[in-house]
């Protein structure tokens, strides 16, 4: 019998937690990750599920199109730094009930740990991304990406301002997120309100910035989702390095150049963000 820790889903999940920690985006228990398992993932992991699953827990949100699905999730208050050392204590697998309103832990989160406090936001985002990508998206990642957070103190909190700053700071950005990035004003984390606000933005955007808090990124697998967060954070870092010189910007990527990138790479840029 395959050890659950050796399954592809858990190995990929552990690696992504480790990669985010190494980038410096997960101080203390900062950030969280969830993965919507495929049928093959569930079949591979099922032999390792607890004989007696825990009680059902109502979530305060309902994600109908996720009913009966299984998710790998980080634990609330758990440090992503520790996931590689002891996944069963810091990560778990939860099953959603037949209406998508409650979960129960079927593996991991040992010692009475519970899923991330951002589970409502993750699941609402999964629900929307599953819908708008015809089931292709499976990963939702929340990180405290330093340079992105810092930008939320100086840029107007609009999708247009953030998207233009990021597109202009690194040539691959318009290719990686041609629709732009969404921006959520500061809100109390962990509740249904921020879950609704974020998931509405995720209808349009693959990634959403949380003012003075961090970034949410979505994608079909761990590589693409981590790559999206990495690309956005790197672009924000470049923007800061430019600002930090205090020198006037002599040139940037023009709107015509952005359109030329889109044409040659075959992507459709969000015209709302071009002049």
**225 touches, from ligand 13P, Zn ion, none (C-beta below 5 to 8 Å by class):** none
| Residue 14 or 26 having the CB closest to Zn ion | 26
Q: How far apart are CA 30 and CA 213, in angstroms?
A: 10
Torsion angle of alpha carbons 82, 85, 88, 94, nearest 10°? 50
Query: Which residues 56-95 are close enough to bind ligand 13P by CB under 6 A?
Result: 74, 76-77
The single residue among 117, 133, 146, 204 that binds ligand 13P, judged by CB under 6 A, is 117
Q: Does 31 bind ligand 13P (CB under 6 A)?
A: yes
Q: Which stretch binds ligand 13P (CB under 6 A): 25-33, 40-48, 128-136, 241-249?
A: 25-33
Applying CB under 5 A, the residues found at the interface with Zn ion are 214
Strands of the sheet with 70-74, listed across from one edge:
57-58, 102-108, 91-96, 70-74, 32-36, 139-143, 214-219, 207-210, 182-184
Minimal distance in Å, beta carbon 27 to ligand 13P? 9
Terminal CA-CA length for the chain:
58
**82 touches, from ligand 13P, Zn ion, none (C-beta below 5 to 8 Å by class):** none
Minimal distance in Å, beta carbon 31 to Zn ion? 6
Q: Which stretch binds ligand 13P (CB under 6 A): 5-13, 110-118, 127-135, 266-274?
A: 110-118
Q: Does 198 bind ligand 13P (CB under 6 A)?
A: no
Q: Does 38 bind ligand 13P (CB under 6 A)?
A: no
Verify whether residue 118 is a known catalytic residue. Answer: yes
- Given 95, 118, 233, 237, which residue is catalytic? 118
**50 touches, from Zn ion, ligand 13P, none (C-beta below 5 to 8 Å by class):** none
CA distances from 73 to 122, 223, 249 (A): 9, 17, 43
Q: Does 7 bind ligand 13P (CB under 6 A)?
A: no
| Residue 75 or 174 having the CB closest to ligand 13P | 75
Give catalytic residue positions: 118
């Amino acid at each position: 019998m395959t050890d659950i820790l050796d399954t592809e889903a858990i190995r990929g999940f552990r690696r992504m937690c480790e990669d985010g920690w190494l980038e410096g985006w997960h101080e203390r228990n900062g950030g969280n990750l969830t993965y919507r398992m495929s049928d093959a993932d569930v079949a591979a992991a099922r032999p390792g599920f607890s004989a007696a699953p825990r009680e059902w827990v109502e979530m305060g949100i309902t994600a109908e199109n996720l009913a009966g699905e299984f998710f790998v999730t980080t634990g609330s208050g758990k440090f992503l730094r520790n996931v590689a050392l002891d996944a069963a204590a810091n990560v778990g697998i939860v099953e959603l009930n037949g209406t998508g309103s409650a979960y129960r832990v079927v593996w991991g989160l040992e010692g009475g740990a519970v899923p991330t406090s951002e589970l409502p936001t993750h699941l609402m985002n999964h629900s929307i991304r599953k819908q708008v990508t015809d089931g292709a998206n499976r990963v939702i990642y929340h990180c405290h990406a330093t340079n992105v957070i810092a930008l939320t103190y100086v840029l107007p909190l609009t999708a247009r301002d953030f998207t233009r700053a990021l597109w202009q700071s690194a040539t691959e950005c318009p290719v990686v997120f041609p629709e732009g990035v969404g921006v959520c004003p500061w809100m109390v984390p962990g509740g249904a309100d921020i879950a609704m606000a974020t998931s509405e933005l995720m209808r349009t955007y693959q990634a959403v910035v949380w003012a003075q808090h961090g970034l949410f990124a979505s994608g079909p697998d761990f590589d693409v989702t981590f790559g999206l967060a990495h690309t956005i954070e790197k672009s924000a870092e470049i923007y800061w390095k430019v600002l930090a010189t205090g020198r006037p910007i002599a040139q940037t990527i023009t709107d015509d150049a952005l359109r030329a990138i889109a044409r040659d790479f075959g992507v459709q840029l969000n015209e709302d963000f071009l002049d």
